[in-house]
Amino acid sequence: MKIAILGRAPEGRFLENAATLLETASKRGATLCYCTEFLEAFRKYAIPVPPGDSFDARGPLPKDTDILLTLGGDGTFLSSLVCVRDSGIPVAGINFGRLGFLTAAEAGAGNGAIEALFSGRYSVCDRALLSLTEASAPLPQDFYPFAINEVTFSGEPRGLVSIRLKIDDRQLPPFWADGLIVSTPTGSTAYSLSLGGPIVLPDSEVAVITPIASHNLNVRPMVVPLSSRLEVTVSSHRGGVLLTADERTARFSSGFRACLTRGTFPLRTISFSDSNFIDALRTKLHWGEDVRNNHTL
């Protein structure tokens, strides 16, 4: 089994713990391949890791890769999309970050996750993506036009913008806000949630449209079919428009327009038998946690 390893370049005990996990994978017979930035971090701190080739985290993975393993938090997991693209290579995440809502296992259970990979004790789930199409200005060449979590439109510099939104060619009245988020079911628990958007189960066939600090009190988050074609036009009186797809950003002039549709392929993610979305709501977001729950009514 060839496992590509994606991580960032943190310091401290993280690298030592990650090296121990990689050694476990190597002993189980894995052929390892490291993103260049991560491999350089191990070399910088003189932490030995099993031998392996390297790849550029901004480009596609080697074609003979079986699994992409991310070591880090949700940000590292999100960056996996640029690596796997439409290859169909499944992604497993082990959380070395703070929240790790998207990852399949915690760092302390990392060795168990490696064993599960080699024994086949996991399932592969498809996560729907958003695709940016028909932009009024060319996207930067290195801007990958797909998103796992969300696509966000806002002013640059930050400030009030006018937003026009069409849903399947049906025009809504324009409204004023600091920006707009369009999220996938996966992204419903990210930026959209902090702005009052609903929580959506990952396999739901919907997208969530959430205004950022709307100046129109009658504009609220909206749930639409994932099959919808959304056209967003953003105008700013102070400057330009900032477009964000997950963690990738690009800047455009006022009046920028782009269309969003469901991605033509999904992100394949690995889930271990002891992890599921409802458990994550309870343990990561502390859903319904209340001191009164400890007492019988």
Question: Virtual CA dihedral for 115, 117, 120, 125, nearest 10 degrees?
Answer: 140
Q: Is 169 among the residues known to form the active site?
A: no
CB 180 within 8 A of CB 160: no
Find, among 88, 138, 122, the residue nearest to 250 by Cα: 138
Question: What is the rounded distance in angstroms from the CA atom of residue 276 to the CA atom of residue 114?
Answer: 18
Q: Is 224 left (phi over 0), alpha (psi -120 to 50) or beta?
A: beta
Find, among 249, 236, 116, 119, the residue nearest to 179 by Cα: 236
CB 5 within 8 A of CB 83: no
The answer for residues whose C-beta is within 8 angstroms of residue 190's C-beta and 6 or more apart is 74, 101, 149, 150, 183
Catalytic residue among 74, 126, 168, 169: 74
Active-site amino acid positions: 74
